[in-house]
Amino acid sequence: MSGRGVLSELALQFGIISVVAIGGGNAVLPEMHRMVVDVHGWMTSETFANLYALAQAAPGPNIMVVTLIGWYVAGIPGALVSTAALTMPASVIAFAASQARSRWNQLPWYKTFEHAVAPLTVGLVLASGGLLTASTASGPMSLAITAATVAFVLFTRMNPLLALGAGAVLGLVGLV
């Protein structure tokens, strides 16, 4: 596929993902993975997980993984196209939704809609976590570290980077 073809495909795919990203970019992480690993073969699951980890460790928005995917696939033009394709449609939809919410937020059907969308969002985020765990699990120890990190995040108010740092140390000493 030519460079222009890859850029067009990045724009199309991330534009579509942007429109269905209820709950934010992490909720559609499994679809991003399917697209770049399974459908297009632009990278391996391990590379995807590494780019995601890098995006999470860097300061800035969580969705920076899209920029890194675009960069990995097509360099700087890919990074720019992917980021714009993911952010622009969602921004327009968010603006329209905020206008609708301010107009209709007291109506019973709208309150029902808001309550109905919440479990969908939680489910999509959990699916993202499951996908990342499955694509990076290298044995019982890595699964135990993942479970401990999840518990740490859920049951403490401490910075999640502490758990990630502990996992990195365990990797450096060869336990993973």
Asked whether residue 143 is domain-assigned, the answer is no
User: What separation in angstroms does the CA of 81 have from each of 35, 50, 93?
Assistant: 16, 21, 19
Structural domain span for residue 33 = 3-107
pLDDT for the residue numbered 114: 84
Burial class (CB in 10 A: 0-12, 13-18, 19+), 164: middle
> 80-133 pLDDT, tens per residue?
999 999 999 988 988 998 998 899 888 899 889 888 888 887 887 788 788 878
pLDDT for the residue numbered 52: 92
Q: What percent of the chain has pLDDT over 90?
A: 40
Average pLDDT, the chain: 88
Cα 82 to Cα 72: distance, rounded to the nearest angstrom: 11
Asked whether residue 10 is domain-assigned, the answer is yes
Residue 140 makes CB contacts below 8 A (sequence gap 6+) with none
Burial class (CB in 10 A: 0-12, 13-18, 19+), 76: exposed
Domain count, the chain: 1
Cα 26 to Cα 105: distance, rounded to the nearest angstrom: 26
C-alpha 74: how far from its chain's center?
19
pLDDT band at 41 (very low <50, low <70, confident <90, very high): very high
Tokens of 133: 């765990």
Asked whether residue 27 is domain-assigned, the answer is yes
Asked whether residue 144 is domain-assigned, the answer is no
> 135-152 pLDDT, tens per residue?
777 888 888 888 888 899
- Least confident residue range of 5-14, 68-77, 117-126: 117-126
Asked whether residue 79 is domain-assigned, the answer is yes
0.85 exceeded by the pTM?
Answer: no
